[in-house]
Chain A
Amino acid sequence: MGNFNELSFMVGGFAGQGVNTVGSVLGRICSRAGLHVFINLEYPSNIKGEHNYAQVMVSEEPVGSHVSSVDLLLALDAKSVVLHKDEIRPGGALIYDSEGLEVSPVDAGLKVGDIGRDDIIVIDMPMAQIAKDVGGSKKMINSAGLGAVIGMLRFDFELLANMLRQFLAKLGDKAVEANLEGAGQAYNIAREKYSVQVGIVLEERDAPDRMHLTGNQAVAMGAIKAGVKFYSAYPMSPSSGVLAYLSKYARDCDAVTILPEDEISAAGMAIGASFAGVRAMTGTSGGGFCLMSEYLGLAGMAEIPLVILEAQRPGPATGLPTRTEQGDLKFVLSAHQGDFARIVIAPGDVSEAFYLTFDAFNLADKYQTPVIVLSDKHLAESTWTREPFETTGMTIDRGELLGAEELASISDYKRYRVTDSGISPRALPGTPGGVFKATANEHNEYGFISEDADNRTCQMDKRYRKTSSLDVSEIGAKLHGDPEAEVTLVGWGSTKPVILDAMTQLKEVHGIDCNFLQVIYMEPFPVDHVTRVLGSAKRSLLVENNATGQLGQLIRQQTGIVIDDQILKYNGRQFIRDELADLIQQRLQVA
Chain B
Amino acid sequence: MNGNGDKTRFNTVAKPNWCPGCGNFGIQSALKKALLELDLEPHQVVMASGIGCSSKISHWINVYGLHGLHGRSLPVAAGLKLANHDLVVIAEGGDGDGLSEGLNHFVQACRRNIDLTYIVHNNGVFSLTTGQTSATGKQGFVSSSTPEGAIEPPLSPTALAITAGATFVARGFSGNIDQLNDLIVAAVRHRGFAFIDVMQVCVTYNPARSYKWYKERVYDVREEGHDSTDRNNALTFTLASDDDRLATGILYQGDQDPYEDSLPQLREGPLVNRDIERNDVRTLMAELI
Contact = CB atoms under 8 A, between A and B. Distances in A.
A295 B288 contact: no
Contacts of A437: 58-59, 64-67
A11 B283 CA distance: 31
Contact of B43 (A389, A396, A435, A438): A435
Nearest to B62: A435
A34 to B, nearest CB: 11
A87 B87 CA distance: 61
A260 B64 contact: no
Contact of B59 (A209, A268, A275, A439): A439
Interface in B260-289: 263-266, 268, 271-272, 274, 276-277, 279, 281-282, 284-286, 288-289
Interface stretch (B28-36, B77-85, B244-252): B77-85
A421 interface: no
A168 interface: no
A261 B14 contact: no
A265 interface: yes
B72 interface: yes
A568 interface: no
A320 interface: no
A430 B75 contact: no
Given A32-B289, A261-B108, A430 B271 contact: no
A269 B75 contact: yes
Contacts, number: 203
B137 interface: no
B80 A275 contact: yes
Given A32-B289, A276-B84, A430-B87, A268 B69 contact: yes
Interface stretch (B44-52, B138-146, B172-180, B220-228): B44-52
Contacts of B286: 209, 388
B166 to A, nearest CB: 15
Contacts of B272: 229, 276-278, 428, 430
B63 A302 contact: no
A44 B174 CA distance: 55
A167 interface: no
B288 A269 contact: no
Interface residues of B, number: 55
A268 B282 CA distance: 31
Contacts of A224: 279, 281, 284
B75 A298 contact: no
B87 A230 contact: no
B279 A225 contact: yes
B160 interface: no
A256 B289 contact: no
Contacts of A253: 279
A294, A436, A440: which has the most chain B beta carbons within 10 Å? Answer: A440
B105 interface: yes
A295 to B, nearest CB: 7
- Mostly, the B contact residues are helix
A567 B77 CA distance: 47
Interface string A220-259: 0100111101101000000000000000011101111010
Contacts of B182: none
Given A32-B289, A429-B64, A230 B82 contact: yes
B79 A230 contact: yes
A227 B277 contact: yes
B56 interface: yes
A433 B75 contact: no
A432 B41 contact: yes
A333 to B, nearest CB: 21
A256 B82 contact: yes
A221 B285 CA distance: 8
Given A268-B75, A268-B76, A250 B265 contact: yes
Looking at B67, B74, B282, the one whose CB has the most chain A CB atoms below 10 A away is B67
Contacts of A433: 43
B236 interface: no
B271 A255 contact: yes
Contacts of A439: 59, 65-68
B42 interface: yes
A268 B167 CA distance: 23
Contacts of B78: 258, 260, 265, 268-269, 272
Given A221-B281, A251-B265, A396-B277, A265 B75 contact: yes
B271 A212 contact: no
B152 interface: no
Contact of A389 (B41, B104, B281): B281
Contacts of A249: 284
Interface string A437-450: 11111000001110
Contacts of B64: 429-430, 434-437
Interface of A: 31-32, 209-213, 217, 221, 224-227, 229-230, 232, 249-251, 253-256, 258, 260-262, 264-280, 294-295, 298, 302, 388-389, 391, 396, 428-441, 447-449
Given A251-B264, A272-B75, A439-B65, 11 more contacts: A226-B279, A227-B279, A229-B274, A230-B82, A230-B83, A249-B284, A261-B108, A276-B272, A278-B272, A391-B281, A430-B86
5 contacts: A254-B265, A261-B104, A276-B84, A295-B72, A429-B43
